[in-house]
């Protein structure tokens, strides 16, 4: 089992929105209103890049600075599911490996896991560039000697779905994250869920099929 972080386990949308606008003022690119954000949530990341006018040469610096600012607030990041600890405790009974693959930085994720006492439940944290999750998924498969059919990835964005589809991994799309359910459905995820605990039901059904 592999999970995305922002928008899937952690509710970072408001913080990311505020940081984006803070950096927009600093680096002189366009701010985004809350109304515009709701429209952006319906778009693919490639479409978002066309709307957001961050100069290409500034993008890496802005991303790094934004991640650093988010890290400073990492102890105040809320989980979408208040019972997230109980969820992972139960999930670990059903799966051999549990990790996080994210475009965020490791320290932010580690602090979140510490806050929710999940450090011992998560086997690994792996970080990826925005559009390189497919390569990192392959790395996880190789490292743990897992077949694509044996992995399940849980994410909240169209790029998560597309990365999984490219490497043949089933993907669970959550309906509470950065992309809207409509945007996710267009990419045809393997599963769509409304509650994190539905992941365990999917895992149990898959385990029964493998044992049959």
- The answer, yes or no, to whether residue 47 has pLDDT greater than 90, is no
- The answer, yes or no, to whether residue 30 has pLDDT greater than 90, is no
Same domain, 96 and 41: no
Mean pLDDT of 179-185: 95
Strands (E), 37-179: 78-79, 99-102, 124-127, 152-155, 170-174
Average pLDDT, the chain: 93
User: What is the band of 211 on the pLDDT scale with cuts at 50, 70, 90?
Assistant: confident
Q: What angle do CA 198, 39, 187 make, to 5 degrees?
A: 45
Split into its structural domains, the chain has a count of 2
Residue-wise pLDDT for 83-111, tens only, equals: 999 999 999 999 999 999 999 999 999 99
Question: Residue 98: its pLDDT value, please?
Answer: 97
Q: Whole domain around residue 93: which residue ranges?
A: 2-10+80-211
User: What is the band of 174 on the pLDDT scale with cuts at 50, 70, 90?
Assistant: very high
Question: Residue 51: its pLDDT value, please?
Answer: 75
Q: Give pTM, 2 decimals.
A: 0.93
Strands 78-79 and 10-11 turn out to be: antiparallel
User: What is the band of 209 on the pLDDT scale with cuts at 50, 70, 90?
Assistant: confident
Taking alpha carbons only, the member of 109, 104, 107 closest to residue 136 is 104
Q: What tokens does 140 get?
A: 């996880």
Same domain, 26 and 94: no
- The answer, yes or no, to whether residue 210 has pLDDT greater than 80, is no
CB-neighbour burial class of residue 81 (10 A; exposed 0-12, middle 13-18, buried 19+)? middle
3-state helix, strand, coil in the chain (%, to 5): 50, 15, 35
Same domain, 67 and 131: no
Residues 6+ apart with CB under 8 A from 153: 2, 3, 4, 101, 137, 160, 163, 164, 169, 170, 171, 172
Same domain, 46 and 92: no
Same domain, 19 and 99: no
Strands (E), the chain: 2-3, 10-11, 78-79, 99-102, 124-127, 152-155, 170-174, 191-193
Same domain, 72 and 91: no
């Amino acid at each position: 089992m592999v999970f995305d972080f922002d928008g899937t386990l952690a509710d970072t949308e408001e913080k990311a929105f505020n940081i984006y606008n803070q950096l927009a003022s600093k680096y002189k690119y366009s701010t985004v209103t809350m109304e515009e954000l709701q429209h952006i949530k319906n778009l693919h990341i490639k479409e978002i890049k066309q709307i957001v006018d961050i100069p290409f040469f500034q993008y890496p610096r802005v991303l790094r600075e934004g991640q650093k600012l988010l890290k400073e607030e990492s102890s105040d990041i809320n989980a979408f599911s208040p019972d997230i600890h109980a969820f992972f405790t139960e999930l670990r009974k059903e799966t051999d490996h549990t990790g996080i693959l994210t475009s965020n930085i490791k320290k932010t994720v580690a602090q979140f896991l510490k806050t929710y006492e999940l450090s011992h439940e998560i086997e690994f944290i792996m970080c990826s560039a925005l559009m390189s999750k497919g390569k990192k998924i392959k790395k996880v498969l190789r490292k743990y000697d897992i077949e694509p059919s044996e992995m399940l990835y849980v994410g909240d964005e169209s790029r998560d779905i597309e990365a999984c589809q490219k490497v043949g991994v089933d993907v669970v799309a959550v309906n509470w994250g950065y992309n809207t359910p409509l945007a996710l459905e267009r990419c045809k995820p393997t599963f769509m869920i409304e509650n994190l605990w539905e992941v365990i039901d999917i895992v149990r059904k898959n385990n029964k099929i493998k044992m049959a």
